[in-house]
Amino acid sequence: MTGQDPAPDAVLIDTSKPHPARMYDWYLGGKDNYPVDEEMGRQMLALEPRVPVMARVNRAFMHRATRWLTQNGVRQFLDIGTGIPTEPNLHQIAQEIAPDARVVYCDNDPIVLAHAAALLRSTPEGVTEYLQADVRDPAAIVEGAKRVLDFGRPVALSLVALLHFVSDEDGAHELVERLLSELPSGSFLMMSHATADFTPEESAAATEKLRAAGVTLALRFRDEFARFFHGLDLVEPGVEVVHKWRPELGEPVPGQDDGVIPGYGAVGRKP
């Protein structure tokens, strides 16, 4: 798609149950969410009051990882699970360093499609594109992305705070392998992921509440997260708690050090 948001009535928004994209928007202080998202957001806050800090810390990881990749020569990004636009978006970070950077965004939630115009304001030298697709359909994503990205040259695959919404039954690890198999040597995987490693009881309660509301939450242990990078060369410092991955590339998020941030981040290079 290009240019403008679709007419509002062309996009079907289900407000009968919470959606991860809209809850995340609520935690980040956005306006593109509904009472059902806020209600579930508040239930999560009752279990873990630091969720809004976690959301900002995660977003800041995306900024730093994008910055590092662009500074290290990457000019093409495939970002799946983009979320509702929140400035700065990935292309704004990348194109600030490399105006010719090309970015394909992808999400399966119609609310992101409804606001996609904000993702499509590329620099004149670069390109941004939005695909409405599900990560569980990698063939469709690859086909769409190839219209904009040159798969003969390195691509950074960005899966930030996405795969904890994809279960093992849906083949989370196999999906990443499949997507990486399409990319040439010198490509990268950048990824963050929530974990139950530090707060097992609260995490179990949150998973159960979300499951009852129809949202899959597949929290993973550190070694399960590390397995997504199997066969890749991890960029220093390797798998880290998300705010400790190259903190020098951004500003600290207020409150990030006041307790545990239960999420991992890493960047790996395909040899």
Ligand X SMILES: C[S@@+](CC[C@H](N)C(=O)[O-])C[C@H]1O[C@@H](n2cnc3c(N)ncnc32)[C@H](O)[C@@H]1O
The DSSP element (H or E) to which 111 belongs, if any, is helix 110-114
The contacts of residue 25 (CB under 8 Å, 6+ apart) are 31, 32, 33, 37, 83, 84, 86
Q: Provide Rg for the chain, Cα atoms.
A: 17
> Residue 4 is encoded by which pair of tokens?
């403008």
Beta carbon nearer to ligand X, 75 or 115:
115
Q: How far is the CB of 136 from ligand X (least distance, A)?
A: 5
Closest CB 199 distance from ligand X, rounded Å = 18
Please, what is the angle between helix 51-71 and helix 20-27, to 10°? 100
Hey, CA dihedral for 32, 35, 40, 46, is it positive or negative? Answer: positive
Shortest Cβ 190–ligand X spacing (Å): 10
Residue with tokens 């093409």, as numbered in its chain: 76
- Find the shortest distance in angstroms from Cβ 251 to ligand X: 16
What number of residues does the chain have? 271
To ligand X, the closest distance from the beta carbon of 214 in angstroms equals 12
Closest residue to ligand X in the complex (CB)? 83
Which has the closest alpha carbon to 219: 233, 234, 205, 238? 205
- If the CB atoms of residues 81 and 262 are measured against ligand X, the closer one turns out to be 81
Measured from the CB atom, is 25 or 197 closer to ligand X?
25
153 versus 170: smaller Cβ distance to ligand X: 170
**Closer residue to ligand X, CB minimum distance, 108 or 128:** 108
Q: How far apart are the first and last CA of the chain?
A: 33
Residues that bind ligand X (CB under 6 A): 20-21, 24, 58-59, 62, 80-83, 107-109, 112, 134-136, 160-162, 165-166
